[in-house]
Amino acid sequence: MHRRDFIGLAGGTAALLPIATRAQQAKLPRIGVLVLGNPAPEAFLESLRDGLRSRGYSEDVNIKLEIRSAERKIGLLPEIAAELVRLKVDVIVAFQTPSAQAASQATRDIPIVMASVGDPVGTGLIASLARPGGNITGNTAGGDASGKTVQFIREALPSARRAGVLVNAPDPFSKSFLGQVEPAARALGIELDVAMTTPSEDPDGHFEAFIRNKSEAVIIQPSLLRPVVVELALKHRLPSFAPHRSLPLSGGMLSYSGIDTDQWREVGLYIDRILKGARPADLPVALPTRYELIVNLKTANALGLTLPPFLLARADTVIE
């Protein structure tokens, strides 16, 4: 039902409104949404709502969202996940690997829908993509986008020999992230300077170390992306790369990743099927079907770089 129709119907039944409204609110399915807060979740939440609308759900009309953010403090996720369990939400949506890990530890009963989670099999969240088992399904960032990001360093900076890597130490995906980046770098003759950090830690010292160690670029794990990280890369004149589109959109140089908005909208489909009785164990986990290369040419120019024409021609989006 469209909101206009709902308002019209409500106006025609004013006498029954208080009782009907209370009855409807009591029956609204509640969806807990758990986010680390890094990168900022606004784009994800917008796409999630779009996906729910496409399945016929309107927030606070026939579904309710309980959104909780750890505000970049990864250690708070277990406590917040436990809060959603106490609220007895019908489904928990977990955005990125740290949130999915916290949700899985908080409940084995409430269905969990992953959104853009990295390597859910390798991190032990699910048994397999085809048959996840347990109470978890959803989609994964999947593929080898992190490894391919290193290839774009070679294409953008043909003479580069060393790159810094900013890794989110408490993120369960960090091992898989490095497991993609390190062999790709070895194959391309690029030495890595790995810095382990957290989303709440001041990263300035790591960037200063990258410069001392003569790194010529920096690769950033997606769960570490925030404005200060992008600003420090620019301050230290380091071309920045990440397997997440929020990097170039916020001033970094290049990203290669699955199209996030596709996956985020897809979460609405999983929620709909679960609310209609499907078991997460029987819903295969989806991989990205489309990938995108985004290049921030404005940033490259500010860094004094001339990017190869063939790289710009391959880009799905060039920010000028």
- In three-state secondary structure terms, 209 is helix
From its phi and psi, is residue 72 left (phi > 0), alpha (psi between -120 and 50) or beta? Answer: left
Q: Taking a C-beta distance cutoff of 8 angstroms, is the pair 283, 132 a contact?
A: yes
Query: Nearest 5 degrees, angle CA 209-CA 215-CA 221?
Result: 80
**Residue 23 contacts by C-beta under 8 Å, 6 or more apart in sequence?**
none
- Residues 86-115: pLDDT tens digits? 999 999 999 999 999 999 999 999 999 999
pLDDT over 80 at 15, yes or no: no
Question: Where is 94: in which H helix or E strand?
Answer: strand 91-95
Q: If you count DSSP H runs as helices and E runs as strands, how many of each does the chain have, helices first?
A: 13, 12
Average pLDDT over residues 281-287: 95
Q: How many CA atoms, within 13 angstroms, populate the side-chain half-sphere of residue 102?
A: 31
pTM over 0.85: no
Average pLDDT over residues 118-134: 93
Quick one: CA dihedral 163, 168, 173, 179, positive or negative? Answer: positive
DSSP structure class, residue 59: B
DSSP structure class, residue 31: E
| Residue tagged 């921030």 (tokens) | 296
Question: What is the spatial distance between Cα 100 and Cα 36, in angstroms, rounded to a whole number?
Answer: 10
Question: What is the spatial distance between Cα 315 and Cα 317, in angstroms, rounded to a whole number?
Answer: 5
Integer CA distances (angstroms), 41 to 15, 152, 319, in order = 40, 26, 22
| Residue tagged 């085809």 (tokens) | 130
Residue 78 phi/psi, 5-degree rounding, is -60, -40
- Residues 139-197: pLDDT tens digits? 998 768 899 999 999 999 999 999 999 999 999 999 999 999 999 999 999 999 999 99
pLDDT over 80 at 6, yes or no: no
- Residues 219-269: pLDDT tens digits? 999 999 999 999 999 999 999 999 999 999 999 999 999 998 999 999 999
Burial 57-96 (b: 16+ CB within 10 A, else e): beeeeebbbeebbbebbbebbbebbeebeeeebbbbbbbb
Instruction: Write down all domains in the chain, each with its CATH number in brackets.
Output: 3-142+259-291 (3.40.50.2300), 145-258+292-319 (3.40.50.2300)
Average pLDDT over residues 287-298: 95
Confidence band (pLDDT; 50, 70, 90) for 26?
Answer: low
**Residue 37 contacts by C-beta under 8 Å, 6 or more apart in sequence?**
69, 70, 71, 72, 73, 199
